[in-house]
Amino acid sequence: MGKRELIEKAEKIWFNIKFRYLILISLFILCFFIFGFFSYFIGQDLNWDLLNYHYYGPYSLLNERLEIDCAPAQFTTYANPLLDLPFYYGSQIMKPWLVGFILGGVHGINFFLLLILSYLLFSNIGEKRRLVLSLICAIVGVYAPMFILEFGTTFNDNLISIFVLSGLILMIKSYSLDLNNKKYLYLILFGGCLFGLGIGFKLSHAPYLIAVIIAFFLCIYSFRNKIKNSLFFFVGALVGLFFSSGYWMVKMFKLFGSPLFPFYNAFFKSPWYEYINFADIRFLPKTLFHVLFYPIYFALDSTLVIEKPFAFRDIRFALVYLILLVFLLVFIYFFIKNRFYKNTQKHTINDCFNNFDTKEIFFIYFFIFSYIIWQFKFSIYRYLITLELIAPILIVLLIEKFKINVKIKNIILFVLFALILVLLILPDIKKSDWSNSLFDVSINQDKILNDATILIIGKYPRSYIIPFFDNKNMTFVSLENNLFRRGKDNLLMKRCEEIILDNREKLYLLAKENELQNNSKILVKYNISIIQSENYSITTNIETLYLFRLK
């Protein structure tokens, strides 16, 4: 069978709808296993957030520890733990390597979704080229610093992106239907549900939800349809939000008088914390030039948007910015020419670029406004992970609109993607060999007093130890961390102090030996001292800790 016959046979199979679904299912399974094996080979993840709250959070939820412990995971003690439940349960019944394999496979769903999203958006491109470009965009999309840094980890941004990409696919798919078709509105509704689910699990990804509503208003001409689409999407988002965070919001409201405690407390005014809003402003643009050209700045220096240990180099956002800038400059040029030089022949932007269809306009607005909201609200790079994944798709869409020969377009795309891949420097990814259990915790608990209160001082991530104590009557209290310090006038701080005062005879300090000097200075404020001679070691595959008796 010749090459041409093979291609024709493959095309017949692809255009057969039954075979297409079979191919998609096979591709989904293949992606899961490929990325699962990749996660296995890169090793076990023991990131700071996992040690701090991704393991303790589900344990706290299942064992009603919120009313027993006092902020042992610092302010993230009160973050929604529902998305971490599968990881927690898996860690109880499976070896760490198998949990890592499954987590990597789930993260690989992003690759599959990028293929689908690309294919839907490239509907104006010939079939063979459409398939090739979709595959390239998926590959370049996941070969990105933040996706790889968080791959196979519990940071959860790679999981939230699955909800956002799935919702986005439904939004894009809806534009292939008539506006009066009921299925169109159902797609908008279910797309909203997916966005709401993702945002409910992690509120820091809310810019994507807001950007969808803005995109609806800008890319739909009928005011009635603007309202209808936005309303259906918003209702769907509320339903999704209810399922992913409704229970936790109600729980927070009952315990602390705020559904988002301790966040946005300047608005909710819970007496359990200061009337302030948490805001990490370290990475926000510092100058006007930063505001205007931030994608170029952080392409040159990534520490503007991420901590120095995770520094990287990636130019995909800078390229998107520069291509959009070309479109803007051409538009300004034609506007000025037609406005002020009326004697010359009139030209429009359509002389240089092909028209965008509605789904493409929606996608571009979604990207632009998601980025703008992110830049002014966070500028924390890992919250940008969905845009990092879909940036190659936007590059293709924009280049395709230039009225130039297809071969020249292919050359430009090849050069741009080659530059992204060649210039890419991945962040330092620290993994360890797979251990027999997640943390390999060993505690000699025979000599520890029943009903003891154990103090954790400072910003160290230590709450992962708590589930391994057999005595569930113990209380864990954190002091001098990123949530509060002594002297703050709120009910949560007072509760911590009351727990310490009521249990002075059964107090312990969980710390390393080299932390005792600094911890002693803090404990003096509470009239407490450390009995260094009376201590019990706790060994893990991360560190060796000690329980010191206090008096």
* H helix intervals, 83-205: 85-93, 96-107, 109-121, 127-142, 145-150, 157-174, 182-201
Give the CA dihedral 159, 164, 165, 166, nearest 10 degrees: 90
Q: What is the pLDDT of residue 291?
A: 94
Distance CA 55, CA 58 (A): 6
Distance CA 78, CA 461 (A): 15
Q: Can you count the helices (H) and strands (E) in the chain? A: 22, 6
Q: In tens digits, what is the pLDDT along the chain, a chain of 551 residues?
A: 565 666 555 555 555 556 677 888 889 999 999 999 999 999 999 999 999 999 999 999 999 999 999 999 999 999 999 999 999 999 999 999 999 999 999 999 999 999 999 999 999 998 889 999 999 999 999 999 999 999 999 999 999 999 999 999 999 998 877 666 678 889 999 999 999 999 999 999 999 999 999 998 888 778 888 888 889 999 999 999 999 999 999 999 999 999 999 999 999 999 999 998 888 889 999 999 999 999 999 999 999 999 999 999 999 999 999 999 998 888 888 777 777 766 666 666 666 777 888 899 999 999 999 999 999 999 999 999 999 999 999 999 999 998 889 999 999 999 999 999 999 999 998 888 999 999 999 888 777 778 889 999 988 999 999 999 887 789 999 988 888 766 678 888 889 888 988 888 889 999 998 888 888 888 888 888 898 888 888 999 999 999 999 98
Pairing label, strands 530-539, 442-443: antiparallel
**DSSP three-state, residue 111:** helix
CA nearest neighbour of 67 among 200, 244, 251: 251
Q: What is the pLDDT of residue 286?
A: 93
Q: In what order do the strands lie in the sheet with 544-550?
A: 442-443, 530-539, 544-550, 507-511, 453-457, 475-479
Number of neighbouring beta carbons within 10 Å of residue 412: 15
Instruction: Report residue 294 as tokens.
Output: 């931030």
Q: Taking the chain, what is the end-to-end CA distance rounded to the nearest angstrom?
A: 86
Q: How far, CA to CA in Å, does 130 sit from each of 26, 115, 358?
A: 20, 10, 18
Distance CA 271, CA 255 (A): 11
Distance CA 546, CA 118 (A): 53
**DSSP three-state, residue 544:** strand
The answer to whether 207 and 374 have CB atoms below 8 angstroms apart is yes
- Provide the b/e sequence for 202-219 (b: ≥16 CB within 10 Å): bebbbbbbbbbbbbbebb
Q: What is the pLDDT of residue 23?
A: 82
Instruction: Report residue 101 as tokens.
Output: 């394999």
Q: What is the pLDDT of residue 343?
A: 60
Q: What residues contact 16, with CB distance under 8 A and at least 6 apart?
A: none
Q: What residues contact 228, with CB distance under 8 A and at least 6 apart?
A: 185
Distance CA 226, CA 10 (A): 41
Kindly calculate the radius of gyration of the chain based on its CA atoms and give it in whole angstroms: 27
DSSP line for 164-181 = HHHHHHHHHHHTTS-TT-
Distance CA 171, CA 191 (A): 6
**DSSP three-state, residue 507:** strand
Distance CA 496, CA 506 (A): 15
Q: What is the pLDDT of residue 351?
A: 66
The answer to whether 392 and 140 have CB atoms below 8 angstroms apart is yes
Q: What residues contact 492, with CB distance under 8 A and at least 6 apart?
A: 70, 71, 256, 262, 272, 273, 483, 484
Q: How far, CA to CA in Å, does 179 sit from each of 99, 210, 226, 411, 498?
A: 44, 22, 11, 37, 61
DSSP line for 29-65 = HHHHHHHHHHHHHH-B---HHIIIIITHHHHHHHTT-
The answer to whether 283 and 306 have CB atoms below 8 angstroms apart is yes
| 254 burial type by CB count under 10 A (0-12 exposed, 13-18 middle, 19+ buried) | exposed
Number of neighbouring beta carbons within 10 Å of residue 501: 10
Which residues of 289-437 form beta strands (DSSP E)?
Answer: none
Q: What is the pLDDT of residue 2?
A: 60
Q: What is the pLDDT of residue 503?
A: 86
Q: What is the pLDDT of residue 222?
A: 80
Distance CA 12, CA 9 (A): 5
